[in-house]
Structure 1
Amino acid sequence: MFLIDTHCHINHLNNNSQSPELDSVLKQAYNKNVKLFLSISTSIQDFYHLYKYTYQYKNILLSCGLHPNYTHTNNDLEVMKLLAKNDKVIAIGETGLDFYRNKKTKKIQKKLFEYHIYISNKINKPIIIHNRQADNEIFSILKSNKNKLCSGIIHSFTGNIDLARKLLDIGFYISFSGIITFKKSNDLRSILRFIPLNRLCIETDSPYLSPEPYRGINNQPYLLYYIAKNIQEYLKIDFLEFTHILNKNFFKLFKINKEIHKIINKISYKNDI
């Protein structure tokens, strides 16, 4: 059984002269049995770069979305609607709200978020949500659009148990990143016991949020193994069983057919997929 990185920015790992090449990134990941990746886009330009960077790799799937922290045009919205129909795209996002960096754009962010919900519903692909200091607003928008929701996931969850319950009640999945491994994340780890295993996902969010004991270095997908081990040990569940549950959740949420298993089984460290 292999691990799935459900949220990474794999094209951002190669953004300077000292960054690793993609083959090297994947080889390290394969050595830790991380063999399937959902790489997230944050703008139209980012999507084009991501697609060109990864199109030959059948085990790297994509999202298409416009991040709330960046400025986007009306034309970007129309282009996103078209790009989101691509077969390699399995999700819409990342989208959501971020009031940590800029509270002046609240109205713009909310409209953009609602547009992503509309596209997600229209093409029947789940939505990936970014949330920073916007718990109430995120849930309020989701609740008001409840009948329009396809399905979705909150990535890198850092909220409280009340928010987790509300999200679970409307059918969402919850994903944990390297933050869950931090020494000061005891409160966040305690929430794990309240999350049904069939709604749980894990991610690296690489190149950000490296887990313990690798904080301070550039995060890579192979470090997903340490996130998985940390959660598995905390929950006291068999590692292979835990991996099986995580994979089943991913396949169900993102509507992945069993053909992906054939692709994964063909992967070699020479990267000849």
Structure 2
Amino acid sequence: MLIDSHCHLDRLKAAPDQLSLRQLIEQAKSRGVDYFLCVNVRQQGFRAMQAKMAEFEQIFLSAGVHPLDVQDGLDTTKIHDYLNDPKVVAIGETGLDYFYANETKALQQQCFEQQIALAVEVNKPLIVHTRDAREDTIAFLKQGHADKVGGVLHCFTENWEMAKAAIDLGFYISVSGIVTFKNAGDLRTVIRKVPKDRLLVETDAPYLAPVPHRGQENQPAYVRDVAEFVAQLRGESYEELADYTSSNFFSLFKDAAKLVGR
């Protein structure tokens, strides 16, 4: 069993309707991918995402506001509402991105702080996006007592010091197709160091398709390529890595584990 721990199925051009989405999920299943976490980035898009994923028991959801979408607003009372759906197993995608949107830095920090507080209040883990904001990301997680709920730094591209700081807070590190890119030498060094009990794999589909699919729209089936590459990188068998990353997923997202009886 393998799990795509972070994807945006509602944004796939290859799956504009239920039938095409069902076909993509079947393709992923044929490659051993059994579960998916479909991650929310804009509150305004949550209900449409929720409706599209409703029929698929193998798809879990998150609710939150991405740092590049903070200008569209954050209303935590609405997220509370979304949590009535048992398939919503995490808060996010939230975080800080000073690389693409340094001009909204203050608003990003405010929204991040609010979503950390919400996660602690409702006892759900955080899905964190971070880019060029290492010190602030860790500082806000510490100040907000995010260690009480844990979470994941998804699509990780930062250094070992940040990975270690997050792991010390009870967070997981998730690796995407970026690790397969030619210029990812530093990232590979970090991923080799991540303890087995703190590693996840993801696609971040429809973005960042791994080698050998670069240039294509990413899809959940390609998490198999990420997992095989990471296993080889770490000197492990694919089966071993698939097993422990799946176990890690359900250890982190406990509400997902309850839904599948694990």
Instruction: Please list, as runs of the form range in 1=range in 2, the aligned pairs for 1:24-63 lying within 5 A after superposition.
Output: 24-63=23-62
1:72 aligns with 2:106: no
SS of 2:236's equivalent? coil
Structure 1 residue 239: Cα displacement: 1.8
Counterpart of 2:139, as a letter, is S
State the Cα deviation string for residues 131-156 of structure 1 (Å, max 9, x = none).
11111110111122236741110000
Work out the CA distance in 1 between the residues paired with 2:185 and 2:197. Answer: 22
Instruction: Pick which of 78-87 and 46-55 moved more.
Output: 78-87
Work out the CA distance in 2 between the residues paired with 1:78 and 1:258. Answer: 25
SS of 1:158's equivalent? coil
Work out the CA distance in 1 between the residues paired with 2:258 and 2:63. Answer: 23
Gaps of 5+ in 1: 263-273
Work out the CA distance in 2 between the residues paired with 1:131 and 1:20. Answer: 34
State the match for 1:247 in structure 2. Answer: 246
SS of 1:173's equivalent? strand
Counterpart of 1:202, as a letter, is V
Instruction: Pick which of 18-27 and 242-251 moved more.
Output: 18-27
TM-score (norm 2): 0.93
Work out the CA distance in 1 between the residues paired with 2:27 and 2:15. Answer: 19
State the match for 2:4 in structure 1. Answer: 5
Gaps of 5+ in 2: none
Counterpart of 1:260, as a letter, is V
SS of 2:156's equivalent? coil
SS of 1:257's equivalent? helix
Q: Given the superposition, is the C-alpha separation of residues 226 and 176 from structure 1 closer, same or farther in structure 2, using an over 3 Å criterion?
A: same
Larger radius of gyration: 1
Structure 1 residue 80: Cα displacement: 1.4
Q: How big is the alpha-carbon RMSD for the aligned residues of Structure 1 and Structure 2?
A: 2.0
State the Cα deviation string for residues 110-138 of structure 1 (Å, max 9, x = none).
01001111111111110000111111110
SS of 2:92's equivalent? strand
State the match for 1:270 in structure 2. Answer: none
Counterpart of 1:141, as a letter, is F
Answer yes or no: is the 8 Å Cα contact 2:147–2:171 preserved in 1. no
Answer yes or no: is the 8 Å Cα contact 1:117–1:148 preserved in 2. no
1:151 aligns with 2:174: no
Answer yes or no: is the 8 Å Cα contact 2:76–2:118 preserved in 1. no
Q: Given the superposition, is the C-alpha separation of residues 140 and 39 from structure 1 closer, same or farther in structure 2, using an over 3 Å criterion?
A: same
Work out the CA distance in 2 between the residues paired with 1:147 and 1:32. Answer: 35
State the match for 1:134 in structure 2. Answer: 133
State the match for 2:163 in structure 1. Answer: 164
Q: Given the superposition, is the C-alpha separation of residues 60 and 105 from structure 1 closer, same or farther in structure 2, using an over 3 Å criterion?
A: same
State the match for 2:235 in structure 1. Answer: 236
SS of 2:12's equivalent? helix
State the match for 1:125 in structure 2. Answer: 124
Structure 1 residue 30: Cα displacement: 1.1
SS of 2:205's equivalent? coil
Work out the CA distance in 1 between the residues paired with 2:54 and 2:22. Answer: 13
Work out the CA distance in 1 between the residues paired with 2:251 and 2:18. Answer: 34
Q: Given the superposition, is the C-alpha separation of residues 215 and 144 from structure 1 closer, same or farther in structure 2, using an over 3 Å criterion?
A: same
Work out the CA distance in 2 between the residues paired with 1:27 and 1:248. Answer: 22
Structure 1 residue 14: Cα displacement: 3.5
TM-score (norm 1): 0.90
Using the aligned pairs only, state the percent identity.
36
